[in-house]
Structure 1
Amino acid sequence: MTGLPLAAPALGSAPGWPLVLYFHHVNPLVRHYTALHPDDFRRGLETVLEQVGPAVEPRTVGPGFRPPDAPSVLITFDDGYRDTLTLAAPVLAEFDVRVLLFCTTERLDRAGTTPPRERAALPPRQSYLDWTEAGRLAAAGHVLSAHTRTHPKLTELDPADAEREVHGALHDVAGRTGQPAATFAYPYGLIPALNPVPPTVLGFGTVKSAPEPWPERPLDIRRTYLPVGETDRWSALAAEWREQWYGSR
């Protein structure tokens, strides 16, 4: 498809499959390769929606997903940070876009028991949604899904502990939403050799995953990102992602 290195963000999805982007924060105070200032996030959404294609509705994403017949984009957020509600959601609403929100479930549990004054004093990278706030996102059409319970490196756990982290988070999300979780994202994009994600779920990786059709690697779906501080590059990047969609289909 392309000679780009596997970890290069310019390498998109398999031909014919949605481009999947991942973010952690929309926040001017956070420095991270997947954290954007709200103005840049707005610019990034405008760029990919205009130059790649429309946003995929996350409620349609799960095993058996059939891709649109033209280039499209799936937006995802990891961890369940509070600024997804306070800063990202208003921008998403401007574009009528819904996202997959992969929640680290015990951190949302803990946020719900933390006194409001203490929560307000937390830095953004320690400030998580509680389940009531996550429910507000769900009510707006965003889809809550699983990202383990405590965000460990699954590759460093024994198989039983890895399974508890994954299945526990899937159970937590189902219990909170009333719907089985159909998707999961691996912390750090690290996938154990003995994969604990069940076949009833799609597993999303990061730029460490290869760009393959989802049915061929349903537990190792590639995601990529908009490089921070390189806004002038985004238009060309989006054009490359769109071109890759046609590939050798």
Structure 2
Amino acid sequence: MSAALFDPALGSAPGWPLVLYFHHVSDLVDHYTALSPDAFRRGLETVLDTVGPALDPAAVGPGFSPPDHPSVLLTFDDGYRDNLEVAAPLLAEFGVRVLLFCVTGELDAADRLSRSERAALPPRKAFLTWAEAELLAASGHVLSAHTAGHPRLTELEPREAAEEVAVSLRGIGERTGGPARTFAYPYGLIPQPPPVPPGVLAFGTVRSPPEPWARRPLHIRRTYLPVGDTERWKRLAVGWREQWFGSQ
């Protein structure tokens, strides 16, 4: 696989939204998709001002038609508590809503913990409860599926991989009252063929090439804002906008 594919400067296919992915907004997490609150605010300002407005995630699903201008879809993976406590207020400042890809088994487990048990968890183990996830949904964020247990789907038998996806999609549907229309692969690892049922758009990471969603609806590329390299963000955003017009 080409090293260029992993470069966050490679955004989306011409004419299709830029898709960014995050895990945490926290000062306490060291991860390439975890930004501090101040950095996250700066990132939002940079991307929204330079690339284009944020998409409403409720409009994203099979048959999606992109707007006729550059735009951004923001996504969060796993379903951590800081997404509610830290990220959500910052997103509200900008009027932005996100796709929240939840590991449904972790939300089930969070529901079984006491308040004191949850308070003792480090940020990377502190997941939303379903009630907290539903607070995000009530604010216009969209809950979606990210498997039941966050395995590497490429290491499972096809039947097991399909079940991981199906259980997660079903759990989201039961909680939201409607079918989950989007899914994200853990670690961006996509089995062949992808274990995603019809009627669902599936998102990868920087492991996926930038292709039109209509052509490869189960391999949608997402990229990210590099942590600790804020001086590069403006240049990245300019490049992502130019790529929408077909300039590389």
Tell me the TM-score normalized by structure 2: 0.98
Query: Which residue pairs with 2:67 in the alignment?
Result: 68
Query: Which residue pairs with 2:189 in the alignment?
Result: 190
Q: Which runs of 5+ in 1 are unaligned?
A: none
Query: Which residue pairs with 1:160 in the alignment?
Result: 159
Query: Which residue pairs with 1:144 in the alignment?
Result: 143
Amino-acid identity (%): 69
| Paired residue total | 247
**Secondary structure in structure 1 of the residue aligned to 2:47:** helix
Query: Which residue pairs with 1:9 in the alignment?
Result: 8
**Secondary structure in structure 1 of the residue aligned to 2:73:** strand
Q: Could you list the per-position Cα deviations for residues 132-186 of structure 1 after superposition, in whole angstroms to 9, with x for gaps in the alignment? A: 0000000000000000000000000001110110000000000011010000000
Which structure 1 residue ranges, 4+ long, deviate > 6 Å from structure 2? none
Query: Which residue pairs with 2:177 in the alignment?
Result: 178
Query: Which residue pairs with 2:227 in the alignment?
Result: 228
Contact 1:4-1:11 at 8 Å conserved across structures: no
What is the identity, as a one-letter code, of the residue corresponding to 1:172? Answer: G
**Secondary structure in structure 2 of the residue aligned to 1:102:** strand
Query: Which residue pairs with 1:81 in the alignment?
Result: 80
Gap change, CA 1:202 and 1:222, over 3 Å in 2? same
Query: Which residue pairs with 2:206 in the alignment?
Result: 207
What is the rounded CA distance, in whole Å, between the counterparts of 1:127 and 1:211 in structure 2?
32
**Secondary structure in structure 1 of the residue aligned to 2:6:** coil
Contact 1:22-1:78 at 8 Å conserved across structures: yes
**Secondary structure in structure 2 of the residue aligned to 1:6:** helix
Contact 1:13-1:19 at 8 Å conserved across structures: yes
What is the identity, as a one-letter code, of the residue corresponding to 2:103? Answer: T
Query: Which residue pairs with 2:112 in the alignment?
Result: 113
Query: Which residue pairs with 2:125 in the alignment?
Result: 126
What is the identity, as a one-letter code, of the residue corresponding to 2:197? Answer: P
Q: Could you list the per-position Cα deviations for residues 40-87 of structure 1 after superposition, in whole angstroms to 9, with x for gaps in the alignment? A: 000000000000000000000000000010000000000000000000
Contact 1:4-1:10 at 8 Å conserved across structures: no
Gap change, CA 1:15 and 1:4, over 3 Å in 2? farther
The two structures, once aligned, show a CA RMSD in angstroms of 1.2
**Secondary structure in structure 1 of the residue aligned to 2:75:** strand
**Secondary structure in structure 2 of the residue aligned to 1:75:** strand
Q: Could you list the per-position Cα deviations for residues 98-150 of structure 1 after superposition, in whole angstroms to 9, with x for gaps in the alignment? A: 00000000100000110110100100000000000000000000000000000
**Secondary structure in structure 2 of the residue aligned to 1:22:** strand
What is the rounded CA distance, in whole Å, between the counterparts of 1:59 and 1:10 in structure 2?
26
What is the rounded CA distance, in whole Å, between the counterparts of 2:176 and 2:50 in structure 1?
34
- Once the two structures are TM-superposed, the CA of residue 4 in structure 1 deviates from its matched residue by 8.3
